[in-house]
Amino acid sequence: MERRLAAIMATDVAGYTALMGADESGTLERLTSLRQDFLEPLIAGHHGRIVKLMGDGILVEFASVVDAVTCALAWQKGVADRDETLKFRIGINVGDVIVEGDDIYGDGVNVASRLEGLAEPGGICLSEDAYRQTRGKVEAAFADQGEHRLKNVAEPIRAYHYTPDIPTARHVRRRSMTARHSFPSVLLASGLTLLVIAAGLLLWQRPWAPREEPASEANMAFPLPNKPSVAVLPFANLSDDPAQDYFADGMTEDLITDLSKISDLFVIARNSSFAYKGQQVKVRQVAEELGVRYVLEGSVRRIDDQVRINTQLIDATTGGHVWAERYDGKLDNIFAVQDAIMAKVVKALELQLTDREREQQDEGPKTDSMEAYDLVLQARKLLTRFDHKAATEARGLLERAIEIDPSYVEAHTLLGFYFFDEWRVWGRKRDQNLARALDLGAAAVELDPSDPAPHVLLAMVYQWRREFADANAAADKALALEPQDAITLSNLGSMLGWAGRSQEALLVLQKAIRLDPFHPPNYLERLAFAHAGLGDYAQCIEAANRGIALDPNYVGLRVDAATCYAALGRAEDAKAAAAEILRINPRFTLKAFEAYAPFTDEGDRDWKVKMLRIAGVPE
């Protein structure tokens, strides 16, 4: 494992979801232009390296923290001069990072990300180490904001803030000296203290008052669904061992999955909920950005076989707590705790369960083995990295889980998707990996025919094996089970697109995107593909460009764009998109695409190839 010391900058756009809701295409266009024309040259000029783009966020690595802070100052000034609507928050830390390929992670990165969440829009937040190494070396004043307790960081972090209106250090020092020796100021401070105490007593005597600032429906990025809606925030890991983070994440994911099975409840997907992991966010912000009424949050402390879980459900539109509960018990009773939390949510929100949903709640735990359950939680955590080395490690954990409990449905399904992605994503041993995925999907369906995810796995595997009748049959079974999970819906939308069932694909993908507002770019690639299948070429281009703004190097998005530009007769745009395809993958040819793409209808394949040929993709 390679480690190195680095200065890490984490950034995002303040209020990005609201900006997208007001003017999606304009916001994407301005952000993309700003990145290409200003930010990327600026980062390179300060000897920085863009590690990855994350929607509206950018993670950057520098060898020198002075370079990082100087770049951040120029960044904020340059953005303010160029676009008054885009305001970035920037967090900078210097620390040890773990290197894996082009990616970096570890505490050094986590702290930078969490400091970014503390920064004001247009501002910069430094860790104490970063501040100490740049003090006196940059032309800016940073104000000491004291220590902050950051999620999943063992020790408090002292933060130093910069915003353009912070006075110079000399003025700050002079003002504080004047206040220290001014007798009227002391009296004023005493008076203010008494007022604060009085106000506190008044608030203390009003227990019915909201404990959170209410969210505004008018400010929500999406209209509230026509049924109760909830976002489950990542449970904080309060264990002494940071390595137990996967357990807290697994608890959260299980609650999201179980709540998603209730048809009378709208539940935000894991991906979007976990966008707030490690951040100090207000319930109002979460509700407005995700378009939900309720927020469920909590914490987990695990020591040996003892677990303490705190949870609370908040009505964001009033700011009031619906309920709060603490659960103490042994690890082997964890499923009973999950059931208890589920029951509290169902009762508090007065949800109406179907007969099947009541049966599912009575069926008992997913596995009788806590060891197998723990292995699946670890595997889930690894699979979220979208990294082949991590995925291979997850495979070993899932295989062990199945050995311990051969009836564990989720372990079979996750392992099946691992083998499917070995071919689809990593391009390894097509026939062997698809056959293994098929066996695991069939086993999962036999173990639990009511779970949509294994049916979707089978539909995808059959589609790629060109066994189209079986693919459609599996897809129909999945649709009949009305999946509520965003990833399952997105995968189903992909298969339906290749099968020529574009209208059905469009509907399930739109549902997936609403459940997962911070969705990855592959959702948009599949959406663009569905629009193309329906002949909605302008909508195809719009969806593809939204995805390109998230990941400019996603070749599938460029393929969709080139196809639909060609279909509209926009020759220059089509050629530009084709040039981007070849920039990303110089070996991309029409012959290779024909061999890869599992179209059910040869006419659909021939049309796609014809449009790509018009765009200039080589034979």
Model pLDDT, residue 281 = 81
pLDDT at 193 (0 to 100): 44
Same domain, 107 and 7: yes
- Of the candidate ranges 71-80, 108-117, 357-366, the one whose mean pLDDT is the lowest: 357-366
User: In this structure, is residue 390 part of a structural domain?
Assistant: no
- List, for residues 231-259, the tens digit of each pLDDT value: 999 988 887 677 778 888 888 888 898 88
Q: Residue 187 pLDDT more than 60?
A: no
- pLDDT higher than threshold 50 for residue 39: yes
CATH number at residue 160: 3.30.70.1230
Residue 18 shares a structural domain with residue 93: yes
CATH code: domain of residue 243: 3.40.50.10610
| Residue range 7-26: mean pLDDT, rounded | 80
Q: Residue 444 in contact with residue 457, Cβ under 8 Å?
A: yes
Alpha helices, DSSP H, located in 407-451: 409-424, 430-447
Last residue of a domain, one of 104, 133, 166: 166
- 614 within some domain: yes
Total tally of structural domains belonging to the chain: 3
pLDDT recorded at residue 523: 93
At residue 172, the pLDDT reads 33
Q: Would residue 491 count as lying in a domain?
A: no
- Residue 266 domain-assigned (yes or no): yes
Last residue in a domain, options 166, 183, 202: 166
The confidence band for 190, taking pLDDT boundaries of 50, 70 and 90, is very low
Scan for tokens 């020591």, then name that residue: 303
Query: How large is the average pLDDT for residues 9-22?
Result: 80
Rounded CA separation 521/55 (Å): 9
Q: Which residue range is the domain that position 65 belongs to?
A: 2-166
Could you tell me which residue, 17 or 310, shows the higher pLDDT?
310
**pLDDT confidence of residue 71:** 94
545 or 367, which is more confident? 545
The per-residue pLDDT for range 525-538, each reduced to its tens digit, is 999 999 999 999 99
- Domain identity same for 160 and 75: yes
Q: Residue 187 falls within a domain, yes or no?
A: no
Residue 95 in domain: yes
Rg of the chain over Cα atoms, rounded to whole angstroms, equals: 26
Q: 160 and 13 in one domain?
A: yes
Same domain, 160 and 231: no
Average pLDDT, the chain: 84
The answer to whether residues 227 and 342 belong to one domain is yes
Q: pLDDT tens for residues 317-362? A: 988 888 888 877 777 777 777 788 888 888 888 888 887 777 766 6
Q: What is residue 412's predicted lDDT score, i.e. its pLDDT?
A: 95
Q: Residue 256 falls within a domain, yes or no?
A: yes
Mark whether 50 and 118 lie in a shared domain. yes
Question: In this structure, which long-range contacts are made by residues 99-104, counting pairs with CB atoms below 8 Å and at least 24 apart in sequence?
Answer: 99/2, 99/3, 99/4, 100/2, 100/387, 100/389, 101/387, 102/51, 102/52, 103/51, 103/52, 103/387, 104/6, 104/8, 104/51, 104/59, 104/61
Average pLDDT over residues 283-298: 91
pLDDT at 207 over 80: no
**Residue 469 belongs to a domain:** no
Mean pLDDT of the region 116-142:
86
Q: Provide the CATH number for the domain around residue 562.
A: 1.25.40.10
Instruction: Specify whether 158 is located in the same domain as 225.
Output: no
98 and 24 belong to one structural domain: yes
Query: How large a percentage of the chain has pLDDT more than 70?
Result: 89
* Residues 162, 233 share a domain: no
When mean pLDDT is compared across 301-310, 456-465, 545-554, 601-610, the lowest value belongs to: 301-310
- Of the two residues 331 and 468, the one the predictor is more confident about is 468
Q: How many Å apart are CA 536 and CA 28, to the nearest integer?
A: 20
